[in-house]
Amino acid sequence: MKIQLYLYTAVYSLAAARRESPEPNGHEWRPAGHTDSRSPCPGLNVMANHGFLPRSGKNIDLAAVQHAVSGAFNYEPHALDNAVQMVWDFNLSSTGNSSTFNLADVAKHDAIEFDGSLSRNDFYFGDDLHFNSAIWHTTATRLGLYDIEYSVKDKFVTVETAAKACAARVEDAKRVNPTFNASAAEIIGSPGTTALYLTTLWDDAVGAAPKAWIRVFFEEERIAYFERFKKPLEQKTSDMIKNLTAAVIEAMKLT
């Protein structure tokens, strides 16, 4: 009888947990497997880990990305078309199909990927694809992600703080990487990727991005549903990214 009661309780608890899960049905987080393809871009990986993109990370076309950014974060479907188009502009696809790519294809150095990533090491050091905990720890510390105090302002990252962390990471890379390349991809990419993650995780009510959401986005490549992230009602656009990129660039000049 006790065993039956235990089993009933366990099954009931599991069922209740699933019912109460804030993750959208069919988009539960699942980390990449050994044969799955992933990119240097946390955002692409996040969408694959939640099944908004194919979980394999392979044979992805433009329509799949459009559907994913809309479904995951309520971006206007064409908001990131120009960024994705670079896969074909730089002939990065390894799929054998001119209209698809694998996520790992994005790691080609000085095409879309660039030196001074917030969470990856530079190509010069041998691995510009995978998450680097040391690089990220420095970035996260500069963002104050490990210093969440009781006041509301201490729970969010502002444009100014994010810009300072971005500029500092670039200076770190320049100092230790003898082949650091201030290419067009790096000059636009560094502030652009900072603006992209801020736009993606922005809390309009506060005018900043929650630290807890940023941490799991980078460290676990997970959408922060359990940290109360909800897809925004207002659709995000490419103009929002451009405007925030301009704000990051201006803030970087002051560092």
Tokens 């490990």 locate to 146
CATH of domain 2-253: 1.10.489.10
| Rounded to 5°, angle at Cα 24 from 22 and 30 | 90
Question: Could you give the CA distance from residue 123 to residue 139 in angstroms, rounded to a whole number?
Answer: 18
- DSSP secondary structure letter of residue 224: -
pLDDT at position 185 is: 64
The DSSP secondary structure of 180-216, one letter per residue, reads ----HHHHHHHHHHHHHHHHHH-BTTTTBEEHHHHHH
Q: Where are the domains of the chain?
A: 2-253
pLDDT at position 18 is: 45
Question: Could you give the CA distance from residue 63 to residue 221 in angstroms, rounded to a whole number?
Answer: 22
- What does residue 210 show for φ and ψ, rounded to 5 degrees? -60, 135
Question: Could you give the CA distance from residue 68 to residue 48 in angstroms, rounded to a whole number?
Answer: 9
- DSSP secondary structure letter of residue 107: G
pLDDT at position 153 is: 64
204 close to 158: Cβ distance less than 8 angstroms: no
pLDDT at position 167 is: 96
Give the count of beta carbons closer than 10 Å to the beta carbon of residue 184.
10
Q: Report the first-to-last Cα separation within the chain, whole angstroms.
A: 68
Instruction: List average pLDDT for each run of 10 residues in the chain, which is 255 residues long.
Output: 47 47 95 98 99 99 99 98 95 96 96 93 96 98 87 85 97 95 74 97 96 98 98 97 97 84
Question: Could you give the CA distance from residue 102 to residue 224 in angstroms, rounded to a whole number?
Answer: 25
